[in-house]
Amino acid sequence: MKLLLVEDETVLVETIQARLLEQQYLVDVAMDGEEAMYALQEFSYDLVLLDLGLPKRPGLVVLEMLRKGEAPLNTHTPVLILTARNSWQERVEGLKKGADDYLGKPFQYEELLARIEALLRRHYLDTESWLIAEHCQLNLETKQLKVHDTIYDLTMTEFRLANVLLSHPNKVFSKEALLSRISDQNYDRESNIIEVYIRKLRKMMGKQAIETLRGLGYRFCGEQNDK
C-alpha cells in the first residue's frame, strides 16, 4: 500500500515514516499544502495522513480539493487527519469536509497503525474485493492473483504493479509512471525494477498479456495476442 504523509514537523515525519516502512507501507511525504496538492494530482495513493496546520495551504483546503474531484486518482482515497488542534468544532469540520477519521496529537503509534489498517480494510470492503481483467483476477484483500484456475501469492511489489495494470486494461504506462506507483518518491529513475517485475507477471499471466511498446511503456492487453 502506498500512503501520502502530509506533515510539516520534521521529527514527526521521520518517526512516522520509519514506523510505516517497518509495516511494509510505501510512504511519500509532503511538507506543505501546495506540495500535497501537487502529489495528489500526480500520483495515486491508498490512504492520506493529513495535518491541518500546514504552511502555504491549510489541510482543510487540501481535503476540499481532494473531495471535489480535483485529484481524480485520489478522489475517494481514505483520509486520516493528524493534528494537535483538538477542539470538537475542528474535528466536526474535518469530518464534514470528507475526512474518514481523526487522530489528535500526541498519539501512540500503535493506535495510528490500527486506524490505518481499519480505514484500508473498510475502504477495500466497500469496493470490489476482486479486480477482474480478461483472464486475470486480482484479490485486493489477500493480494493473490488468479489466472484461469491457478492462484499465485504475490509479493507487495508484484501486487502493486498488477493492480495498476489490471485497473486500466489497454492503457499505456511509461516506465516512470509505473515506478511512481510501486515505489516511494525517492525511486531511482535508472532502476530496472519494472523490467524485472514485468517478466515475473508475464510468467503468471502469459507472455503476451503485458505488451511492451518501444519508447512508450507497457500495457495489459489480455490473452488476445497469445492466440
Place of cell 510505501: 26
Q: Tell me: do 120 and 140 sit in the same domain.
A: no
One domain, residues 13 and 106: yes
Convert the pLDDT of each residue in 112-152 to its tens digit.
999 999 998 887 665 567 788 889 989 887 889 999 889 99
Of the CA atoms within 13 Å of residue 23, those in its CB half-sphere come to 17
How far CA 210 is from CA of 58, 65, 80, 100, 196, in Å, comes to 42, 34, 35, 36, 13
Q: How many domains is the chain built from?
A: 2
Q: Which CATH number characterizes residue 139's domain? A: 1.10.10.10
Burial zone of 37 (CB within 10 Å; 0-12 exposed, 13-18 middle, 19+ buried): buried
Q: Are residues 8 and 120 in the same domain?
A: yes
Evaluate whether 5 touches 49 at the Cβ level (below 8 Å).
Answer: yes
pLDDT over threshold 50, residue 57: yes
Residue ranges making up the domain that contains 179: 130-226
**Same-domain pairing of 156 and 192:** yes
94: left (phi over 0), alpha (psi -120 to 50) or beta: alpha
**pLDDT the model gives residue 15:** 94
The model's pLDDT over 186-210, given as tens digits with 9 standing for 90+, comes to 666 667 899 999 999 999 999 999 9
Domain finish residue from 126, 155, 188: 126
Burial profile 200-216: b = 16 or more Cβ within 10 angstroms, e = fewer = bbeebbbeebbeeeeee
Q: How many CB atoms lie within 10 A of CB 184?
A: 16
Task: Please check whether residues 116 and 144 belong to one and the same domain.
Answer: no
Single residue among 106, 126, 146 that ends a domain in this structure: 126
160-176 tens-digit pLDDT: 899 999 988 899 999 98
Percent of the chain exceeding pLDDT 90 equals 51
Residues 194 and 220 both lie in one domain: yes
pLDDT exceeds 70 at position 94: yes
Computed over every residue of the chain, the mean pLDDT equals 87
Cα–Cα dist 196/134, whole Å: 23
| Of 49 and 125, more confident | 49
137: nearest Cα among 212, 25, 220, 45: 220
